[in-house]
Amino acid sequence: MKFSIDRTKFINQTSNVQRAISTKTTIPILTGMKLDLSESGLTITGSNSDISITAFIDKNDSENDLKIENTGSIVLPARFFNEIIKKLPGDNFELEVLENNQTLIKSGVSEFTINGLDAVNYPHLPEVETDNQLVLPTDVFKEVVNQTVIAVSTQESRPVLTGVNFLISSEGLTAVATDSHRLSQRKINITSDEDYNLIIPGKSLTELVRTISDSVKEISMSISENQVLFSFDNIMFYSRLLDGRYPETDRLIPEESSTRLTFDSSKLLASVERASLLSHESRNNVIKLEIKAVDKKATLYGNSPEVGTVEEVLDFDNLEGDDLEISFNPDYLKDALRSFGGNTTIEMSFTSPLHPFTLRPVEDRDNFVQLITPVRTF
């Protein structure tokens, strides 16, 4: 196996593939990056069993400056290999596999020889049928992921809650995540002839969004029994799906409310950030919201016995309903507010001090909801 290639183009693709490679793995060969050179181009693969990423560098794209002498494949230690390529002096480099999988890398005045592994022993990628694909606009997909992945659980005791549940049907796509303390649900008008109910790990979705460049306009999604494949821009991103039944979350979202507060998301976020400065110093990290409906007044309180207290009267657009005192984790509310984007008009709806409250954008209230469970303080 021997080829030369533009170093910058190569690094762009290896940095994507590197996201799937972990230094902590029970399968030693998975700490490596697989290079597979065919007559049509170079395929680079990385995997950690949960996610696998392949990037293809096309020989026919002149910008890649890919010149092939001999085809073949090799697995190279990813961390060392990446660092070497990044620090090479020239614009191009040459790679050649010698006897016993030793690999020679040359660029300018530099020459490295590193030990590779036989690619035959590299695990096969999952097989996912790509006949029936869903095509998603990239900006919408990224938005849906960023708005829901904040609510996935980090506790492995209930594995299904570490993922985002995607429900896709002829009526549209619903994405929902909950860690049992908060919930985020987003609906978009992307339909499918077939019904799908799948749980994608939150970690996979986070890495996927980081991998998609801003220039990508569409992303294709193919689903098999235990894998999902996202294809875009010569990259294939595989993720395993989580086994199990996701809880029915619709019944958790209250339909009625006794108190409603409407405000600008960025203004409330600033107030909550100030109130949480002191609550973070306290062991329980809780702030309190007090609503006086008759006086048309809403006040946030933060308290840390070691440091002091904070009190801030909120600036809101509208308030109606009953008086209320409710306590909650400010970090959950900050995450929820950031997910709406800046300067969005939000309606906050409450039913009682001990029942979850919801946040919805006024202009798109049926398609996006964040739910937060209050904290009992007595």
Q: How many CB atoms lie within 10 A of CB 7?
A: 18
Looking at the structure, tell me whether residues 24 and 100 fall in a common domain. Answer: yes
Q: Enter the pTM of the model.
A: 0.92
The count of C-alpha atoms lying within 13 angstroms of the C-alpha of 335, restricted to the half-sphere facing its C-beta, is: 19
Could you give the number of structural domains in the chain? 3
Q: Which two tokens stand for residue 137?
A: 């606009």
- Whether 132 is covered by a domain: the verdict is no
**Would residue 304 count as lying in a domain?**
yes
217 and 260 inside one domain = no
Q: How far apart are the first and last CA of the chain?
A: 70
Query: What pLDDT is recorded for position 12?
Result: 94
Whether residues 173 and 264 fall in one domain: no
Task: Tell which residue, 69, 74, 71, 65, has the closest CA to residue 44.
Answer: 74
For β-strands 196-201 and 235-240, DSSP reports them as unpaired
- Please write the tens of the pLDDT for every residue from 147-192: 999 999 998 889 999 999 999 999 999 999 999 999 999 999 998 9
Residue 296 shares a structural domain with residue 324: yes
Q: Based on the number of CB atoms within 10 Å of its own CB, is 114 exposed (0-12), middle (13-18) or buried (19 or more)?
A: middle
* CATH number, domain containing residue 54: 3.10.150.10
- Let me know whether 47 and 68 are in one domain: yes
Domain that holds residue 6: 2-121
Q: How do residues 225-269 score in pLDDT, each as one tens digit?
A: 899 999 999 999 999 999 999 999 988 999 899 999 999 999 999
| Cβ neighbours for 29, distance < 8 A, ≥ 6 positions apart | 75, 117, 121, 122, 123
Percent of the chain with pLDDT over 90: 85
Same domain, 284 and 315: yes
Check which CATH number belongs to the domain holding 295 and give it: 3.70.10.10
Tell me the three state secondary structure of residue 230: strand
Same domain, 275 and 364: yes
Query: Are 114 and 20 contained in the same domain?
Result: yes
70 and 154 in a single domain? The answer is: no
Whether the CB-CB separation of 235 and 218 falls below 8 Å is answered with no
Residue 290 belongs to a domain: yes
* Tens-place pLDDT, residues 329-359: 999 999 999 999 888 999 999 999 999 999 9
Are 315 and 260 members of one domain?
Answer: yes
In a domain, 131, yes or no: no
Q: How far is CA 271 from the centre of its chain?
A: 27
Locus of tokens 């996935």 = 152
Q: Give strand pairing partners of 58.
A: 41
Co-location of 303 and 341 in the same domain? yes
